[in-house]
Structure 1
Amino acid sequence: MRGKIFRDRREAGRELAGLLGDYRSRDGVIVLGLPRGGVPVAFEVARALDAPLEVFTVRKIGVPGHEELAMGAVASGGVVVTNYQVVEAVGVPHDQFDLVVAREKAELTRRERLYRGPRPAPDLFRKTVLLVDDGLATGATMRATVSAVREFGPERIVVAIPTAPSSACREISALVDEVVCVDTPHHFSAVGQSYEVFDQTSDDEVRDLLEQAVLPDLSDDVDYGGEG
């Protein structure tokens, strides 16, 4: 069974928002999109719920020479999450780990300045945080994001995604207060299988969506600047 197919991230966001009605117009709710692909989805969710939209940037700390293997992550606010099992298993020296962390922090800072400009990072203390991405595959990035967000003392963390394997949802649900997912395909191979259009979202698109989100009056015919 192939599962549900969304036309694009915008449509996925609107369908996801339909499952999050309990959070509409509630005080203390903030929508955090994971850049880059999660931001168009989060934009639709935030607009439907009448909630503020922000980004929460996470950078994987890859093992030198095997960057696809995560030994941790750095996230918005300077939070560092370390996977000690991986660090010890591959024997990465402390100074080398710190070097990779410094590099990823620099890239994270660059992206946040690009996305947010002069606006300060959002205050998540005692807030209901809706973490939105365009889907989960292994859930590794989301697990790092949840760990980082928890450092800021939110009252409630909700992971909201359009598509994910049921196994990833079960793993994430053990870490947060609620997981909301539109579809869990029986045969899941990649997030992109659930979309007709799954173009890469650009930094410019992320920035434009965030700028639109802070406008006082947001019309229903907003130009998102593309499908990605």
Structure 2
Amino acid sequence: MPFRDRTHAGQELALRLVEWADSGDLLNLLVLAMPPGGVPVAAEVARALHAPLDVLVALEISTPIRPRTAIGAVVADDPPLYDRQSLAMMHLSEDRLGDVVARERNELHRREYVYRGRRPLPSVNGRTVVLVDDGLATGLTATAALRYLRRHGPARLIMAVPVGSPRTTAAIGRECDDVVCLEQPPSLHTVGEWYEDFGQVSDTRITNTLQRFHATA
């Protein structure tokens, strides 16, 4: 396994990104983590780049029929992003998922308040934004997050992950300016299999981490 834990993965990812920073390509930088798992990874990136760190919460949408299968994602107050193929396979339509989406959006806003309080997301307009997660499997939450950020006018948008499936990584590349993915195994079943320790990241750990990095608007 290439990564001991998320902190180790973040350190390895930071080494790659520091090369870009040294070349002057990462200006007016903001690092955004996708919680929960992306926060320990992004903390190491932000530390190495001497950059502010904040979080962008995106949640998967699933159904009671297949609770472990993501069929969509939500971020902020944007309309849900759906995997159309999954909807068709399950004979579902968007209008039948209203209650599910409402529950996920309520949970999303709850987490935003826990992590950030009433402080808004820092402005991304005109900045180089590095969006960090602990890996790319389906890519639904990452796609929703990148599309949200793109609409807010970053100068450059980068997705950075320690590991991802080749197919998903290629698809994510169409949603941003650059993708940094250290490992792309031919068959990626779960992100967690590429970590020796892939334990849950608590809200307390996330808030304590964010308190050490004060992102400015």
Do Structure 1 and Structure 2 share a fold, with TM-score over 0.5? yes
- Of stretches 191-200 and 33-42 in structure 1, the one that deviates more from structure 2 is 191-200
Work out whether residues 136 and 163 of structure 1, in 8 Å CA contact, stay in contact via their aligned partners in 2: yes
Following the alignment from structure 2 to structure 1, what is the Cα–Cα distance between the partners of residues 147 and 33? 16
Structure 1 SS opposite 2:210? helix
Instruction: Quote the offset at 1:129 in angstroms.
Output: 1.3
Structure 1 residue aligned with 2:3: 6
Matches within 5 A, 1:145-164: 145-164=145-164
Structure 1 residue aligned with 2:81: 82
Following the alignment from structure 2 to structure 1, what is the Cα–Cα distance between the partners of residues 185 and 83? 32
Instruction: Quote the offset at 1:83 in angstroms.
Output: 2.3
Q: Which runs of 5+ in 1 are unaligned?
A: 216-228
Structure 2 SS opposite 1:148? helix
Q: Deviations over 1:108-157 (max 9, x none)?
A: 11101101123222212222211111111222222222222223222221
Instruction: Quote the offset at 1:64 in angstroms.
Output: 5.3
Structure 1 residue aligned with 2:122: 122
Under a length normalisation based on structure 2, what TM-score does the superposition of the two structures give? 0.85
Percent same amino acid among aligned pairs? 41
- Alignment RMSD, CA only? 2.4
Matches within 5 A, 1:1-228: 5-21=2-18, 22-23=20-21, 26-63=26-63, 65-76=65-76, 78-83=77-82, 85=84, 89=88, 90-92=91-93, 94=95, 96-214=96-214
Aligned pairs, number = 210
Q: Which runs of 5+ in 2 are unaligned?
A: none
Structure 1 SS opposite 2:62? strand
Under a length normalisation based on structure 1, what TM-score does the superposition of the two structures give? 0.82
Following the alignment from structure 2 to structure 1, what is the Cα–Cα distance between the partners of residues 82 and 10? 31
